[in-house]
Each structure stands twice: as structure tokens, then as C-alpha cells.
Chain A
């Protein structure tokens, strides 16, 4: 599988990563190699095989709906890069 530069740029945007031109070239090479590497799986016929997402039987885990104590404001915002102590502050989203 060979990715084009345009495809790498598109994947980077979907991944929310801005890349320099040099990085685009480097990842074009490396991502293409990895995708070629994993193509080996196509050797296997998996028709009719159920996908195994994990070994523990998946089941709904429910708990009683009891109100508890949540994080304080202080704890919630202690790691935020920009906050007024009660909100996370982000760049303006809605345009005029």
C-alpha cells in the first residue's frame, strides 16, 4: 500500500495533527511501509470467522443510581491550560 502526499495530509487533518512538509514526506514513507507490512493478514482466509474484540465476555455493567461526590472545581480544572476556575476556556467557536 503506497500512500500519496495528499492522503498523508488528509489523514493528518483527520488525526488533528499539523505536519511540516518534511514530516509529510517522512510519514508518507513510514506509514506506507507499515500498511504494506500489515497486508500479510490478507494471506489468511477469515470468511465466517467472528471478530474477537476481547476475551472477557462483554456484558453490561450496571450500578445503583446513587448520587455521589464528584470532583471539586479545583480538581477538575487543576490541569487546564486556560480556565477561569469554573470553565475550560477555548478559542471562539461561533463566528459572527
Chain B
């Protein structure tokens, strides 16, 4: 078990020098998955052809000269199971799609495939990415590798747990209200929610279209920058992807951070945050100061309205997006029904879990005649206020430092019966999705139970480079061992 502990970047370099073979790496990874899955349940599907594909790549590798070897040649990646990988199952962790096979590649997958990647498996998630604990998956809960009785966070919990447990070399997740950053924090790995529009959403199963964004989940900051460089950019198939050039984020790692200003928003250090979480964040801030970053207290006055705003906008968009699951096109259909409407109603009642139903109904209600102005339009106006808070803050500072989650990993079952308590797990991550901004979540220490704590760096729109430059140096300064014993 040597190769799987190495970073994505190291493996890419070893492959480029032909010092390792795709099959060697894939075989080792598959063994690690086999050894850990019984405890973790981080995967929904393993690609049975992965080793076969790797062996074909072995033969190709021999024929390629060193400078012809693409960046991810022969490297097995895992993907959150709400992103389409052609020919593989794409379940969204729902009974509704339990037998759905993706007929095409998402744009991010196409890009990674062109770079030579192998897709080893699909990671567990909250059903349709709705949740903060990966407990709403039809395929069972994923366990946190640091403490198997605890949740990995959600909704990219399978991806984060697998990367932490080294049963994935790197993964792609999606983030609508914190679904990359919060599980990365709870599992002690690195996750980026890029600026809205930075990465194409084509082939990602839409949840809340104005908030969703795909991003990388990795062992360290360098891998994250490396992977984002490969998936970012405009796409003719996504009208909301940004017409901007993609920087080489790995080059940005070496950017000077001395003299940068970091904002510490007072509204993010509220009551309810675990004291040990706050302590670790303040230690990270001290490290930033010693790296030459100036710290300034700032105010984001509408922070305390972000969760409420999100829980109107996200369900509204979800109720519309999930209208397509009607028993006609996408695998699941109820067996006994009297007519078309009855077929729709029974198919959806049987196919969706309670969290999904709850959100569809909230969305249907807030968008319905007579309530649209009071709920949906109101929420979009508050969204403007939240956005303006950030705009004002960024006139003074280059980036913002906050906790990712108010607590470390909580126990399985602890919040599952209380939707609002669960919704508050994302209190520090949601505002960014509403404002479209990028956020990097990275480990900054542990609590006294040995559970990881994450720090969030928030950037200006399309300024992922600053976050990577700061994150890279902070990671070195903190020097955390983020390998759980499993």
C-alpha cells in the first residue's frame, strides 16, 4: 500500500517518467477499496472494467514518449454519483435512479478522460445531493474514516471519506450549499467550490441550478489546484459557464502572499460554534499572520439570513429540476397505477426519499401562485444584500477566513430527524453559493476527540488563484498529518 498514499501530482509525475504502470496503481487502489468499503460505504458503484482499462493503458504507455503522456494518464479517479460517466451507473443515491446508466459523459468527465484518467468508481452522496451528512442515500450512510460512528458530512460525503481513507486518489464533488467544503472539513481533506460559472455543469444532475458547482476533492492543496486547472473553462453546452481564460492554478501556488489582507467576519464567530473549532481557526489565522498576511476584522451583516434564503431558493429550483422524474424516461416506474397522474404520483412517492420530498414540496409551495413574491422573490432580494456584503468586504480585503462547519463530525442519527438542525450544519458555507464566490476548505487541526477541523478561505469571484496560493502556504505551515487510521 505505497502508491495510493501518494498525491495525485506525484502519481502524475511518476507516470510521466514511466516509473509506475496504470494497472499497478489501479490494482492497488481496488484492493484498498475492497479493504475499506465494508467499514466506509463510500462508493455506490465500482467500475468493474477499471483494471481492464488500466491494462490497455499499460500497453499504450509503452508506445508514448515522455512528453506525450497526458497529465492524468492511467490515474484512477472517483466521481460523486450525480455526475454522468458514460456507460456507468449514475444513481444520485436515489431509488428513482438506482438502475440508471449514463448515456454520455459530463463535460468535466470528457476533459479528464482526454487527459487519460480512468474512472474507478462512483461515490456515495445524500440523495440528489440534498443533505449535510450522507445519511439520506438510498444506498446507506457513509461512515467517517476518523470515527466510524460519525457522519462524513454531506452531500459529497462518499468522495471526502474515500479521499481521506485513501480509497480514492482524488474525486469530484458538487457544492450547492457547502456540499464539497463541509464534508472535506469533517473528513480532513481539501475541497474547492469554484466560482459559479468557472466549471461547466453539463452532465451534473441539476439540484439548484443557480447555486450548483462542480469542484475537486483532494488530499492536499496542490492536487486541488492541479485538478481544477483540468476541469475549468467555458463550455458551449453550459450557457452559464464563464467566458474567461483558465489560469494554471498550480503556478498560482507559488504566488507571493506577503502583504495580502485577510478579513475575519465577526458574524462567523457566533454562539453555537464549538470552542475547539474556533481555537483551531484562530491558530490558522496566527499562521497566516506569520506568513505576512494582515488580518482585519470585517462585517458581513446579512450572514444570519443566508440559511433561510438558501432554504427558499434551493428547494424552489429543486422542485423544478426534479419535475423530470416522472416514471417515463428515467428507469423507475411504480408498478400499480390507475392513470397518468396516478403513475406520476406513485412513482415519485416510491422513488424519492423524505428529504427530497420535503424540498420538492417546500419549493412547490413557495413558487405557487400567491406565494412567489412573499418567498421566492423576497429570498432573491436578500440574496442581493448578501452579495453586496461580500462586494463591500472585498473593497478592503483580498480574501476572507472563516470556519467551514460549526462542529466537527457529528454522530450518525444525531440530526437526521430534525431538518432545521441539519440545515444549520451549512451555516458557514451557504452564503458563498448565494453570492457565487469561490471557497477553499482545508484541514487546520483536530479537536480533542481526534476529529478534523477545517478552515474556509473565501475569495473574490474568479480569484481561485489567491485561495490556492494562501492555502498552499498555510498547509505547509500547519503541517498536519491527515491520514486516519483505518
Residues of A within 8 A of B (CB): 8, 11-19, 26-27, 30-31, 33-35, 37-38, 40-44, 46, 49-56, 61, 63, 71, 75-76, 78-82, 88, 90-93
| Chain B stretch 14-53: residues in CB contact (< 8 A) with chain A | none
A40 / chain B contacts, CB cutoff of 8 Å: 305, 308
Indicate if the CB atoms of B357 and A41 lie closer than 8 Å. no
A-B contact count (CB 8 A): 152
A76 / chain B contacts, CB cutoff of 8 Å: 103
Closest 4 CB pairs of A and B: A55-B436, A51-B380, A81-B333, A46-B381
Indicate if the CB atoms of A50 and B381 lie closer than 8 Å. yes
Cβ of B370 to closest chain A Cβ, rounded Å: 12
Closest to B386 in A: A52
User: CB of B329 within 8 A of chain A?
Assistant: yes
Interface of B, secondary structure class, is helix
A33 / chain B contacts, CB cutoff of 8 Å: 419-420
Closest to A42 in B: B378
Q: Per a CB cutoff under 8 Å, which of A19, A44, A54 touches B436?
A: A54
User: CB of B3 within 8 A of chain A?
Assistant: no
How many of chain B's residues have a CB under 8 angstroms from any CB in A? 67
Cβ of A4 to closest chain B Cβ, rounded Å: 13
**Which of A15, A43, A53 has most B Cβ within 10 Å?**
A15
Residues of B within 8 A of A (CB): 99-101, 103-104, 196-197, 210, 236, 239-240, 242, 302, 305, 308-309, 311-312, 319, 323, 326-333, 337, 339-346, 348-349, 352, 354, 357-358, 360-362, 364-365, 368, 375, 377-385, 387, 419-420, 423, 435-437, 461
Indicate if the CB atoms of B461 and A17 lie closer than 8 Å. no
Cβ of A53 to closest chain B Cβ, rounded Å: 6
- In the bound complex, CA of A40 to CA of B427 (Å): 15
**Which of B342, B346, B352, B381 has most A Cβ within 10 Å?**
B381
Q: Per a CB cutoff under 8 Å, which of A8, A18, A54 touches B345?
A: A18
- In the bound complex, CA of A17 to CA of B378 (Å): 27
Cβ of B437 to closest chain A Cβ, rounded Å: 8
Indicate if the CB atoms of A38 and B381 lie closer than 8 Å. no
Indicate if the CB atoms of B103 and A82 lie closer than 8 Å. no
Q: Per a CB cutoff under 8 Å, which of A17, A38, A80 touches B361?
A: A17
B381 / chain A contacts, CB cutoff of 8 Å: 46, 49-52
Interface of A, secondary structure class, is loop
Indicate if the CB atoms of B343 and A90 lie closer than 8 Å. yes
- In the bound complex, CA of A85 to CA of B352 (Å): 27
Other CB < 8 Å A-B pairs besides A63-B236, A81-B333, 5 of them? Answer: A15-B348, A34-B420, A41-B382, A54-B240, A78-B103
- In the bound complex, CA of A43 to CA of B301 (Å): 13
- In the bound complex, CA of A27 to CA of B385 (Å): 31
- In the bound complex, CA of A79 to CA of B333 (Å): 11
Q: Per a CB cutoff under 8 Å, which of B196, B236, B358, B437 touches A30?
A: B358
- In the bound complex, CA of A79 to CA of B97 (Å): 9
A34 / chain B contacts, CB cutoff of 8 Å: 311, 358, 362, 419-420
Indicate if the CB atoms of A31 and B358 lie closer than 8 Å. yes
Indicate if the CB atoms of A55 and B328 lie closer than 8 Å. no
Indicate if the CB atoms of B364 and A54 lie closer than 8 Å. no
Closest to A72 in B: B103
- In the bound complex, CA of A41 to CA of B419 (Å): 18
10 contacts between A and B (CB under 8 A): A12-B361, A17-B349, A34-B419, A40-B305, A41-B382, A52-B384, A55-B196, A76-B103, A79-B103, A88-B329
Cβ of A35 to closest chain B Cβ, rounded Å: 7
B332 / chain A contacts, CB cutoff of 8 Å: 81
**Which of B358, B365, B383, B436 has most A Cβ within 10 Å?**
B365
Q: A15-B319, A53-B210 are in contact. Are A35 and B327 (CB under 8 A)?
A: no
- In the bound complex, CA of A16 to CA of B341 (Å): 7
Q: A18-B346, A51-B381, A63-B236 are in contact. Are A38 and B331 (CB under 8 A)?
A: no
